[in-house]
Amino acid sequence: MSKSDWNSPEAVRRLAKRHAAEKRFKFIGLAAIVLSLGFLALLLVIMLKNGLGGLDWDFLSGSDSTDASTAGVWGAAKGSLLTMLVTLLLSFPMGVLAAIYLEEFAPKKKWIEWVEVSINNLAAVPSIIFGLLGLAVFINTFQMPRSSPLVGGLTLALMTMPVIVISGRNAIKAVPPSIREAAYGIGASKVQTTFHHVLPLALPGILTGTIIGMARALGETAPLLMIGMRAFVVTPPDSLTAPSSVLPMQIFLWSDEIDKAFVQNTSAAIIVLLVFLLAMNGIAIYLRNKFEVRW
Amino acid sequence: MTEANITSAKIAARNVDVFYGQKKAINDVSIDIDNGIVTAFIGPSGCGKSTFLRTLNRMNDTIAGARVDGQILLDGEDIYAPSMDSVALRARVGMVFQKPNPFPKSIYENIAYGPRIHGLASAKSDMDRIVENALTKAGLWEEVKDRLNDAGTALSGGQQQRLCIARAIAVSPEVILMDEPCSALDPIATARIEELIDELKESFAIVIVTHSMQQAARVSQRTAFFHLGSMVEYGETDQIFTNPRETRTKDYITGRYG
């Protein structure tokens, strides 16, 4: 093929086609982003317009009430915090230990494969089923107090753990085998190799997965319906066993009110929830950057 | 006691077979490895020389389905005996890998980790001495003494490999296994490692697996030639390269295959 072939009409047409394809892809990709971000922006604008007026100290420090003007979000927010605390304390260590065991220690046996399949399935189970499980196990069998952050946290921990296990395993798998060999090579035991070398390198990935799981749990409503966290609670919970609501549930309850005045409350509560979620994602990014090891 | 136990060799392997699952990777290898010299394993890719090397410090234990038959004696002690702790063994038989693999930590920490987990230093000053000593022996001290807190991974490839050698030296092993330690390095870095190996043989028994016959000829005093999972010939390096007894060895070193 001679050099001038690139200037033949045939070649020019082919090149033009390739450039057009590239332009087309860039446009479609950009459109996809604009469309999704557009809806998010629209949501934010509507919420801010409706809710910003209701965001004052009384709203942030008050609890639920039948009167829209005195109703506040603190009771539900505190309920959410307590519930998340239980969820985190349970699902994080359990999830990380399970991930380490499955990835580093488990024998390659048939039953381990079953465990793996089960955990993957667990992550895909609809959340309302976890609510039923929580109701049957924690409340009916173990007689724990209904509507409490304790039961809510336990139920959400069941839901969050598989997410942490899956992201944790991926993070552990991504640690190069050469690091393990290096540690074994100077006489580190398996536990030392795992906890001194593999886990620190996998931590950013594990933390990211954990916070994504926690953020999902924070926005979860359905399973909490089943364990009675939709009760009308006028005082913030003062313990893990006190009756309580959570933020998304409060939003759901207010959006159900007939009184028009609750529209503002609903929007304001959504803003509070979004701030919570943004803060959690911010923490996730901060932690990832802090623990990230550069090679 | 079998006759195998009456030997002055540092490491004595007797009728060693290695299996990966059903596949036999090493077939009936017996070899004596002595102190104070460098022993080279050569052979074409897939001949089992690395596999055999990794049986000498039970590195194959970490691979699922790997199994070793026969006897490997370190100072007359069977390293596959139930009483032998593989962790303690690897502190006595150190290893340097094909690709430099420093921990993503500081240079100091890379060296100090081994001595720390084995409790070799009781005070910070002891540890400082161990680190300096290991880096000096690995010929790296002058280059890094002012930046011990920099990341080990920020060093050049050749420096990283010397750091890995220093890390192995720091736990005072008796034997150092090297699995193609120069295959990822340029010729200048390779020459430095080879000089280093020559110095280190005074203090440690060194076993090196290499793809390069020139390297084996340069650094080793004894050479074992592996082919298809068997050890074809083992002898003085000079003899192997100038006057091989086996046709297969001769064909390999003259470039007939490989």
pLDDT in tens, A173-199: 999 999 999 999 999 999 999 999 999
Greatest C-alpha distance within chain A = 85
Q: Are the Cβ atoms of A108 and B164 closer than 8 angstroms?
A: no
Geometric angle at alpha carbon B171, from B167 and B174, rounded to 5°: 110
Instruction: Write the DSSP string, A141-204.
Output: IT-PPTT-HHHHHHHHHHHHHHHHHHHHHHHHHTS-HHHHHHHHHTT--HHHIIIIIIHHHHHH
Please name which of A185, A174, A196, A168 lies closest in space to residue B170, comparing C-alpha atoms. A185
Per-residue b or e along A113-127, where b marks 16 or more CB atoms closer than 10 Å to that residue's CB = eeeeeebeebbeeeb
Given pLDDT bands bounded at 50, 70 and 90, which one contains residue B60? confident
| Mutation site, A102, A103, A105, A186, interface B, largest B CB count within 10 A | A186
A185:B94 CB<8 A: yes
End-to-end distance of chain B based on CA atoms, in angstroms? Answer: 40
**Alpha-carbon gap, residue B235 to B220, rounded angstroms:** 11
Three-class secondary structure of residue B27 per DSSP: strand
**Which chain B residues contact residue A291 at CB under 8 A?**
none
Helix (H/G/I), strand (E/B), else coil: A218 = helix
Q: How far apart are the first and last CA of chain A?
A: 45
Residues A10 and A113 in one domain: no
Measured CA to CA, the distance from residue A125 to residue A134 in angstroms comes to 14
d(CA B120, CA B106): 19
Bridge partners, residue B96, by sequence: B178
Digit-coded pLDDT (tens) for B177-213: 999 999 988 999 999 999 999 999 999 999 999 988 9
> Is A186–B91 a contact, with Cβ atoms under 8 angstroms apart?
yes
- Between CA A266 and CA A273, with CA A272 as vertex, the angle to 5 degrees is 90
Neighbours of B186 (CB within 10 A): 11
Count of beta carbons in the 10 Å neighbourhood of residue B131: 24
**Nearest residue on chain B to A196, alpha-carbon basis:** B113
CA distance A50 to A233: 24
Which amino acid is located at A162 in the chain? Answer: P
> Which burial class, exposed, middle or buried, applies to B132 when counting CB atoms under 10 A from its CB (0-12, 13-18, 19+)?
middle
Is residue A166 domain-shared with residue A222, that is, in the same domain? yes
Give the three-class secondary structure for B247.
Answer: helix
The reported pLDDT for the residue numbered B2 is 45
Same domain (yes/no): A73, A50:
no
Looking at residue A294, its pLDDT comes to: 60
Q: Token match 């536990």: residue? A: A191
CATH number of the domain enclosing A143: 1.10.3720.10
Largest CA distance in chain B: 57
The phi and psi torsions of B137 (rounded to 5 degrees) equal -60, -35
Give percent of chain B with pLDDT exceeding 90: 83
Q: What beta strand segments (E) does chain B contain?
A: 11-20, 23-33, 38-42, 66-74, 77-78, 93-96, 175-179, 205-209, 222-227, 230-236
* pTM for the structure as a whole: 0.84
Task: Specify whether A71 is located in the same domain as A212.
Answer: yes
Fill in the amino acid letter for B174: E
Residues B151-169 have pLDDT tens digits of 999 999 999 999 999 999 9
pLDDT tens, residue by residue, A103-118: 999 887 888 889 989 9
Compute the distance between CA of residue A173 and CA of residue A205 in angstroms, rounded to an integer.
Answer: 11
Q: How confident is the model at residue B258 (pLDDT cuts 50, 70, 90)?
A: low
DSSP A33: H
Six-digit token string for B11:
């490491």
Residue of chain A nearest B57, judged by CA positions: A185
Average pLDDT for residues B102-121, to the nearest whole number?
94
Residues A185, B97: C-beta atoms closer than 8 Å? yes
Domain-terminating residue out of A13, A37, A54: A54
B88–A181 C-beta distance less than 8 A: no
User: Is the Cβ–Cβ distance between B206 and B178 less than 8 Å?
Assistant: yes
- If one counts every other C-beta atom within 10 angstroms of the C-beta of residue A89, the result is 12
Same domain? For A26 and A116 the reply is: no
For residue A176, the model assigns a pLDDT of 93
Q: Is there a single domain that holds both residue A196 and residue A97? A: yes
A43 in the same domain as A63: no
Q: pLDDT tens for residues B119-138?
A: 998 899 999 999 999 999 99
Range of the domain at A20: 3-54
| Cα–Cα distance for residue pair A168/A171, rounded to 1 Å | 5
Q: What residues in chain A have per-residue pLDDT under 50? A: none
Give the pLDDT score at B3. Answer: 45
Which of these three, A54, A72, A90, is where a domain ends? A54
Homologous superfamily of the B3-253 domain (CATH)? P-loop containing nucleotide triphosphate hydrolases (3.40.50.300)
Round to whole Å and give the CA distance between B233 and B241: 11
The interface residues of chain A toward chain B in range 182-241, judged by CB-CB distance below 8 A, are: 182-189, 192, 196-197, 201
Q: Within this chain, do residues A50 and A63 fall inside the same structural domain, yes or no?
A: no
Give the contacts of B150 (CB within 8 A, at least 6 positions apart).
B106, B107, B144
Residue A186 is nearest to which of B64, B153, B171, comparing CB atoms? B171
Residue B4 is predicted with a pLDDT of: 46
Question: How far is Cα of residue A75 from the mean position of the Cα atoms in its chain?
Answer: 22
- The reported pLDDT for the residue numbered A108 is 78
Helices A149-173 & A199-218, crossing angle to 10 degrees?
Answer: 140
The answer to whether the beta carbons of residues B131 and B145 sit under 8 Å apart is no
A87 in the same domain as A43: no
Centre a 10 Å sphere on the Cβ of residue A24 and count the other Cβ atoms it contains.
10
Q: Say whether both A68 and A43 belong to one domain.
A: no
Cβ contact (<8 Å) for B97 and A180?
Answer: no
- Provide the pLDDT for residue B224: 96
Q: What is the mean pLDDT of chain B?
A: 92
Domain total in chain A: 2
The reply to whether A107 and A188 lie within a common domain is yes
How many angstroms separate the Cα of B106 from the Cα of each of A283, B99, B111, B162? 27, 18, 9, 14
The reply to whether A106 and A211 lie within a common domain is: yes
pLDDT digits (tens, 9 = 90+) for B78-94: 999 999 998 999 999 99
Domain definitions of chain B by residue range: 3-253
CB-CB under 8 Å, B96 with A179: no
